Amino acid sequence: MHVQFAELPVRDQGRAKRFYADHLGCTVAADVPMGGGGWHWIELAFTGSETRLHFIRAREGSSDDPVLVLVDDDVAATVDALRAAGVEILTEPHAPPWQPGRTIAEFRDSEGNRMVLGSR
């Protein structure tokens, strides 16, 4: 058993798709029209993962709680690359007191979602 997809609230699907492809190496696994209004069923794939990222329509008044925790082999290098590309870094890489031996950082994606990036 595995998680098929994690839902991510977005306001602009094209902008979000470019952000995740350009900055986190995602590939488009599905992109088909869904209902009216130009909305698409979009799933993005991460290399080496069965779980995909699926865009849902963001609702107004969303909280600022972290949306997803992404696991990466080199948190500091990824944060440096995100920063160089103009991505807002919310917390620098650090060792959280509740998980000794792990490194985490936070950033904001193109849609304003607060994301956690953590080591294995």
pTM, whole model, 2 decimals? 0.86
Average pLDDT over residues 93-119: 94
The pLDDT of residue 61 is above 80: no
Q: What is the pLDDT of residue 62?
A: 66
Average pLDDT of the chain is 93
What's the mean pLDDT in 79-88? Answer: 98
What are the start-end ranges of the H helices in 4-109? Answer: 13-24, 75-84
The β-bridge partners of 32 are: 41
The pLDDT of 8-20, averaged and rounded, is 95
The structure tokens listed for 112 are 């304003």
Conformational region of residue 25, where left means phi above 0, alpha means psi within -120 to 50, and beta covers everything else: left
Per CATH, domain 5-118 is 3.40.50.2000: no
What mean pLDDT do residues 61-71 have?
A: 82
Mean pLDDT throughout 55-60?
89
- What is the mean pLDDT of the segment spanning 91-120? 94
